Amino acid sequence: MASAGVLPTKGSLREDLTCAICCELFRDPVMLSCMHHFCKDCITRCWRGTLGPVRCPNCRKEFSSKQFQTNYLVAAMVEKVRATTLDTSINDLEKELKETLESHRLRKEDLVNSMRRDKEKMNIIKKVGAELQARVKGDFQALHQILFDEERCMLEQLRQEQEEEVEKVLHHLEAVESSVRVLEKNMQTLQQSAVDFRTGDLTEFPKLGALQHVKTCPDSGLTAFSNKYSAPLQYIAWRRMFKALKPGPSSLTFDVDTAHPSINISRDKTVAIDCDDMNPYVNHTKRFLQCVNILTTQSFHSGRHYWEVEVGSSPKWDVGVASEAIDRHARIKLCPENGYWTLRLRNGNEYSAGTQPWTRLQLGCTPQRLGVFLDCDERRLSFYNADDMILLLSFTNGPRGKVYPFFGPCVSDSRQKPFPIKLLHYTPVPYSV
């Protein structure tokens, strides 16, 4: 402790009121003649067992006897510091408790909100799952009904053709049986006439029943009949289902008026291929002039639609839909903000979603044929590998209003032969075997 003649600063007060022996605030502080202070118990223990003169533990000053005096002023200061320290500790503890409680309350609130959101998500998932289950059941019930109706129709047709074939043979059988009866009756007459001839009672040739000419049994067509219903019925039924599918495959055709001048289109307007030479063209707002793109004649603004396109082994292409209001004379990045929703391929194996910026896709396949499904009402556009219907990409915030199926054969590398894009058509089989 500092000497009594020096006033301690606020910062050093606690240090000055600390015993140099126990390093704690003084308890029953006493002062030696050298003006240094210690706890009474501490200095007593320190001098215990010492015979003769003793020393101050602090300054090492020697005293002839173990004498000290209580310093009530220092004792009062210690009690005040101890009380202040206790109040501060209590306040700090109270503050820490409040802060910890508030932290826990906020944490609990966050967790409760998270629980609420999770429960809401679970309810939404269950609701959407129930709706999807109902849709799946409805779609498959429709397929079951199509197959049931097809089975019933085919069995009825089979029954009718069977009856017709049996009827043909039955008519011939009846004619043969009638002829057999006439022959049997004539044979009886002739046998009786032979007996009469031997007895001399026969005077003239007996009158016989007229024999009708029986044609050879007509060909029942059994082979054709059997082959007809031994055909690949499952495939036939599948092809017939196209007419009843909702949505069924749309038969699209390219719109020549939208084609970039370097695109050649087949006569039936189902094949588009990029070429090196520019074709003569009429310049109007429908035609793409900067980018090698093309639209179809058909457009969609409501309902659900599906179509397929064959891209083959082309190393680059763009496939999707485009809004009616796109700028076809400018070079614009293909992204939803500009009215395009596309799946793209570059360098033979780099697939991307047409977003800003591009979103790279890791596909586990190299699709040769693409299936595109557009739900205008739910604004959903999905791309599939048409060979196994594996989902490749889906836009859940799709276009509004009228859109056209969009295709970009891209500029071909002069060192490679151009690759065509082909619109696939599936003509329904009539409902007869």
Asked, for residue 220, whether it belongs to a domain, the answer is no
**Spatial contact of 319 and 368, defined as CB atoms under 8 Å apart:** no
Which residue type occupies 324?
Answer: E
Residue 275: which CATH number?
2.60.120.920
Q: Please state the domain count of the chain.
A: 2
Residue 65: which CATH number?
3.30.40.10
Q: Which of 77-81, 199-203, 273-277, 394-398 has the lowest mean pLDDT?
A: 199-203
Residue 136 parent element (H or E): helix 72-199
Asked, for residue 113, whether it belongs to a domain, the answer is no
In the predicted structure, residue 413 carries a pLDDT above the cut 80: no
User: Residue 144: what pLDDT?
Assistant: 87
- The rounded distance, in Å, linking the Cα atoms of 100 and 224 is 90
In the predicted structure, residue 5 carries a pLDDT above the cut 50: no
Asked, for residue 404, whether it belongs to a domain, the answer is yes
- The rounded distance, in Å, linking the Cα atoms of 55 and 46 is 10
**Spatial contact of 384 and 392, defined as CB atoms under 8 Å apart:** yes
What is the secondary structure of 347-376 as a DSSP string? TTTEEEES-SS-EEE--SS--SEEEEEEET
Of 136-145, 222-231, 392-401, the range with the highest mean pLDDT is 392-401
Residues in the chain: 433
φ, ψ at 89 (rounded to 5°): -65, -40
Q: What percent of the chain has pLDDT over 90?
A: 36
User: Residue 218: what pLDDT?
Assistant: 64
pLDDT tens per residue, range 19-51: 988 988 898 999 998 989 999 999 898 988 888
Asked, for residue 170, whether it belongs to a domain, the answer is no
Average pLDDT in the chain: 85
User: Residue 88: what pLDDT?
Assistant: 65
φ, ψ at 18 (rounded to 5°): -105, 130
Q: How confident is the model at residue 224 (pLDDT cuts 50, 70, 90)?
A: low
pLDDT tens per residue, range 354-372: 999 999 999 988 999 999 9
DSSP state of 249: B
Asked, for residue 164, whether it belongs to a domain, the answer is no
Q: Which domain holds residue 35?
A: 13-70
70, 89, 117 - which closes a domain = 70
Asked, for residue 157, whether it belongs to a domain, the answer is no
- The rounded distance, in Å, linking the Cα atoms of 273 and 213 is 69
DSSP state of 256: G
More confidently predicted of 12 and 395 = 395
In the predicted structure, residue 9 carries a pLDDT above the cut 60: no
Chain centroid, CA 63 distance in Å: 94
Asked, for residue 85, whether it belongs to a domain, the answer is no
Segment 230-234 shows an average pLDDT of: 70
User: Residue 219: what pLDDT?
Assistant: 65
With vertex at residue 326, the alpha carbon angle to CA 323 and CA 327, rounded to the nearest 5 degrees, is: 170
Asked, for residue 334, whether it belongs to a domain, the answer is yes
**Spatial contact of 342 and 320, defined as CB atoms under 8 Å apart:** yes
Both tokens of 163, joined, read 């009856």
Token pair 């039936």: residue = 268
User: Residue 2: what pLDDT?
Assistant: 44
pLDDT tens per residue, range 260-272: 999 999 999 999 9
Segment 138-160 shows an average pLDDT of: 86
In the predicted structure, residue 245 carries a pLDDT above the cut 80: no
What is the secondary structure of 167-201 as a DSSP string? HHHHHHHHHHHHHHHHHHHHHHHHHHHHHHHHHT-
